[in-house]
Amino acid sequence: MITYEDHRLRALADDGRWPELLTAYRQGRAAAVERAGEEPAAALTAPLGHLIAYSAPPELSVRLFDRDGGPGTVAGVADHDAGPLWEVLATRHSWLRLAPLLVPAPVRRLVAQTRVLLGEDLSYGAEPDPEGMPLLLAPWETAGWDEGARVRQYLPCGGARSALLTLPASREGLGEVVLPAPGARLGGQRATRALAALADWAEVVCVRGPAPQAAAQLARRSRVTGGYLPFALVYPALVQAAVVDRGRGSAHGRLALWRALVAMAGAEGTDGPDRAEVDALVARMRCFIWHEPAAGLRHLHVALEDPACGLAWAVSGSEDL
């Protein structure tokens, strides 16, 4: 939890004097950019930005991202405190309220994708996603994931609560498995690169063969505690793998995972992903998870097999928080 030492700013917030707070944010950020550069300035002013994004009326809070204040004053997509300022904003207001107000395209897209994760249907009335990513959650995206855990739950004066999603979450339902000999690694797969973009703390390999042969490439031992899960139960942890960095939000994870699924299914189309092909991939996917004894607080050990093409991808890594 962040405490605000500047009592004047706290008093302004208590009185709802948001234009003055926005001015203070912009002046402070511009001065810090001139003095120390963009990245330190973003960090120094993020607590005040969080307060504005969380509590100010949307007509004012969206102006954090407007360039009308001049050079150095605008919050970018990477500005964050407990999480990205755009994600804080997205958790506070519906797309109906925000759509007429948000201008910058990168922020607008991430806010829209966040609202989709929170359960809004933007498939009608909203502009299409630049990559054609769906603006409505597929049934398999909601089946294994409680709505309240999909995005960080932000607090008014800083800080956030978030679910710690790991794979495997426990040993329950898993058994002892002797892995086969590792499959031969395949290089140059677009899906491998896309999966690697989910989490820079995890290793990704692709093999020709079933999921256990992919797992054998990365597992530390040939005898593991493991088992199979439906993709719907694997999906949340894959999305949240991208959110270890507080500068990234759940929208980053969803977009990255959809890119990986599109590449795995060969579902690229001229007008965006072929969603029927992605749905078919998800339906036939075999997901093998295994436990590693030295796993950190956040860990991911899963192999994704597409029996239709005979390929499997393993994603394995551990991150101490």
Residue spans of the domains in the chain: they are 7-161, 175-319
Supply the pLDDT for residue 11.
Answer: 82
Q: 281-305: per-residue pLDDT in tens?
A: 999 999 999 998 876 778 999 999 9
Provide the residue type at 211 as one letter: A
Q: 146-170: per-residue pLDDT in tens?
A: 888 899 999 988 889 887 888 898 8
Q: 10-57: per-residue pLDDT in tens?
A: 788 888 899 999 999 999 999 999 999 999 999 999 999 999 999 999
Cβ neighbours for 318, distance < 8 A, ≥ 6 positions apart = 201, 292, 294, 295, 296, 298, 299, 300
Candidates 66, 48, 44, 56; CA nearest to 10 is 48
For the domain 175-319, what is the CATH code? 3.40.1000
List the structure tokens of 184. 């031969």
Cα 79 to the center of its chain, rounded Å:
15
Measured CA to CA, the distance from residue 160 to residue 151 in angstroms comes to 10
Measured CA to CA, the distance from residue 273 to residue 130 in angstroms comes to 11
SS3 category, 36: helix
Query: Is the bond into 168 cis (omega within 30 degrees of 0)?
Result: yes
